[in-house]
Chain A
């Protein structure tokens, strides 16, 4: 495939990126809104365009199990799921990270039941916050396409060896047709070396993976994991740097828009960041000094970069897309409050939870959130969270 710009559905572009990345094994189970990704991959494997194994499993639990087996023998492995599918595979999802298997997943963020919802929010990814995966959030089709390659590069880096989830908003991105620039196969070959893993399951050199762990050793395994996740950080940045050098599109763990001289910033994760930019432009025209702070890397959390972006600002209006019942607020706001605890120059945080289960958040809504949020900050009404557009 040569370099070309085309209008295509983001799900299809993701599937084609995975194909261009020369994936070896795809094991996935369809679930709205990820279906177009796996259906297209199944198509191109079946018609011979893509030389890979597509394993049609009976459930997401099996999908992740097959992925673990596949990665354990050194095959480049991909899967995709959402919401209930992620919940069903959660047992193995945690295990994949603990076993340091470099699986790449396109996680089409969708709301968790109940009530049953096929629409977008971040409750699914928040459910697996502590699993030890690397989490990247993308905002548009181009970022979705690009980050599939970056994800393989990061995951398989011998200094990383962790599974990577590329989070994209279900429907909002998966079912959107927009322009994307495809890179040519030569560039991808240059960027993605062949997958080589230090310890693989092979009869010539037997090893044991996923063993039983006594209390006497378990704590040490967890520290080993924690350090592994933290130490992956510079290599994640490097994967993005190298992509930027080749394509001109650079990705950073925290990205800001008109935030430098902003007193108040809206903080987003995922596609909401784009609408936020549009609204910030309009508010700037009216003289409001506002900006956007976008979290692209959720785990490992980029504490330093985040501090750099926000310390010294007056207010952060954090938009969460999930709720932690009985807890201190939305997950992102809670973590940011904790990250800023006792830091000099820490801004006040106002937490809005918006767009649960795909309820549309329009430009007008963003504007309301920012204006209302600034008022709340000014009046000291910053505890807990506000469920935006709640009836009742």
Chain B
């Protein structure tokens, strides 16, 4: 964001509170919300893309080698990818580790 929300004055807002900065949702890094992260065993990954399809936050990305993994900047650790993976190659691992 150009300015943290807590510092914006009423005069600085666009009328109608329209947000003109394109795609700035990217600046809201939700990765800090999770207490567990998904870890993919890339040798077992069959590259089907089901986890990518089901991720509610669209933060599963395709790695250069072709397998899929979570974008940890945004991943909230919901575990849906683990549930949906047809070969069970994803496990949730505590952030403490």
Q: A residues near B, CB below 8 A?
A: 98-101, 161, 199, 206-209, 211, 213-214, 216-217, 219-221, 223-224, 227-228
Contacts and interface: CB of A to CB of B under 8 A. Distances in A.
Identify the interface centre among B6, B9, B16, B18: most chain A CB within 10 Å of its CB: B16
Interface residues of B, number: 16
A96 to B, nearest CB: 10
A213 B10 contact: no
B17 interface: yes
A221 B22 contact: no
A353 B13 CA distance: 41
Nearest to B18: A199
A228 B18 CA distance: 14
Contacts of A213: 17
Contacts of A220: 8-10, 13
Contact of B16 (A209, A216, A219): A209
A224 B18 contact: no
Given A211-B17, A219-B10, 8 more contacts: A99-B16, A99-B17, A199-B20, A207-B18, A209-B19, A220-B13, A221-B17, A224-B13
B10 to A, nearest CB: 4
Contacts, number: 51
A50 B14 CA distance: 34
Nearest to A97: B16
B10 A228 contact: no
A357 B50 CA distance: 60
Contact of A208 (B9, B13, B15, B18): B18
A206 B15 contact: no
Closest 8 CB pairs of A and B: A100-B16, A220-B10, A223-B10, A208-B19, A99-B16, A221-B17, A224-B10, A199-B18
Contacts of A199: 14, 16, 18, 20
A221 B11 CA distance: 9
23 contacts: A98-B16, A99-B18, A100-B15, A101-B16, A199-B14, A199-B18, A199-B20, A207-B18, A207-B19, A207-B22, A209-B16, A213-B17, A214-B5, A216-B5, A217-B8, A217-B17, A220-B8, A220-B9, A220-B10, A221-B10, A221-B13, A221-B17, A224-B15
A228 B19 contact: no
A92 B17 CA distance: 16
Nearest to B7: A216
A224 B19 contact: no
Interface in B1-50: 5-6, 8-11, 13-20, 22-23
A207 B15 contact: no
Nearest to A208: B19
Contacts of B13: 220-221, 224
Nearest to A160: B15
B19 A211 contact: yes
A216 B6 contact: yes
A219 B13 CA distance: 11
A100 B9 CA distance: 18
Contacts of A100: 15-16, 18
Given A221-B10, A223-B10, A224-B13, A209 B5 contact: no
B78 to A, nearest CB: 19
Contacts of B23: 206
